[in-house]
Structure 1
Amino acid sequence: MKLSTKGRYAVMAMADLGTHAGARPVSLADVAQRQEISLSYLEQLFGKLRKGGLVKSVRGPGGGYLLARGAGDIRVSDIIMAVDEPISTTRCSAGSPAGCHSDKGRCLTHELWEALGRQIYLFLSSVSLADVCERRILLRGAEMFPHGDGDAVAAAQ
């Protein structure tokens, strides 16, 4: 799976914002310090998050960022997509009938990796920012594997 630092850092920063924001805006400098992410990089990410309707900015003294809607209404997949981070598990171009082989054919395992990509997207769509902020992720894993396989997943983490 290809998920660059852009997607990971955007989720980390949004989780920080969701955890520390109340009625007061949170400064990106504070987020940068707590999460050990470059301030200039966060500024780029938050420009995209604002355009994506996930955060709103407050100017002036005491300004910063607030969530544009409740943390329970923001999905992790929304955050990743807002920063233009495709969730890709194949070498092929998304939506293209052509494969990644030199003859434009698809590899033998293309459908396997494509199905995995869909499952990853479904999982990230099922997890809200509130789930991340309240550390309810392991519970989500247990829900996905109701026959005890979640224990193996939790142990592997």
Structure 2
Amino acid sequence: MKLPTKVRYSLRLLIEIKNSEKMLTLSEISKLTKISENYLKQLAAVLEKKGILKGKKGPNGGYVIVNDKVSLMDLIEIFSGGVQLAPCIDEQYKCELINSCRARGTWLKLNTQISELFKSITLKDF
């Protein structure tokens, strides 16, 4: 399982802001993370809309975190809709083996455990 780029990069964006002693601009974050400024702008817009970041324009502008309780799971849900190890995790998925599949129970259990782990990892951990 590989976390989507948007999740990984948004986490890196937040970590840089969290660990800075001053507000950081996207240009500064881009230099620190080697992520393009345009891509960071897209991520920051989503995070700001979700109430995680707050941007300030002007000479002393930049970004500040307004919700440091954000979890890795929150970012996964925002940028990819959640964890789904197998299609049959979704109740709407139609499979003729759904009632007899011996693997589905394991997929459900793993999916729950991984989701709980991701919920336990917050920005405070970085």
TM-score bracket relative to the smaller structure: 0.7 to 0.9
Give the alignment's TM-score, normalised by structure 1.
0.69
TM alignment of 1:44-55, pairs within 5 A: 44-55=42-53
| SS state at 2:87 partner | coil
The separation in 2 between residues aligned to 1:30 and 1:77, in whole angstroms, is 26
Number of residue pairs matched by the alignment: 124
1:111 paired to 2:109: no
Q: Name the counterpart of 1:96.
A: 92
1:33 paired to 2:27: no
Q: 1:85 to 1:30 in 2, by over 3 A?
A: farther
TM alignment of 1:4-83, pairs within 5 A: 4-20=4-20, 22=21, 24-69=22-67, 71=68, 73-83=69-79
The separation in 2 between residues aligned to 1:97 and 1:88, in whole angstroms, is 12
Q: 1:95 to 1:50 in 2, by over 3 A?
A: farther
Q: CA deviation at 1:108?
A: 3.8
Q: 1:58 to 1:49 in 2, by over 3 A?
A: same
Gaps of 5+ in 1: 134-157
Q: CA deviation at 1:80?
A: 2.4
Between 30-39 and 109-118, report the one with greater CA deviation.
109-118
Letter matched to residue 19 of structure 1: N
Give the alignment's TM-score, normalised by structure 2.
0.83
**Percent identity (aligned):** 27
Gaps of 5+ in 2: none
Q: Over the residues paired in the alignment, what is the CA RMSD in angstroms?
A: 2.0
Q: 1:119 to 1:6 in 2, by over 3 A?
A: same
Contact 1:87 1:121 in 2 (8 A): yes
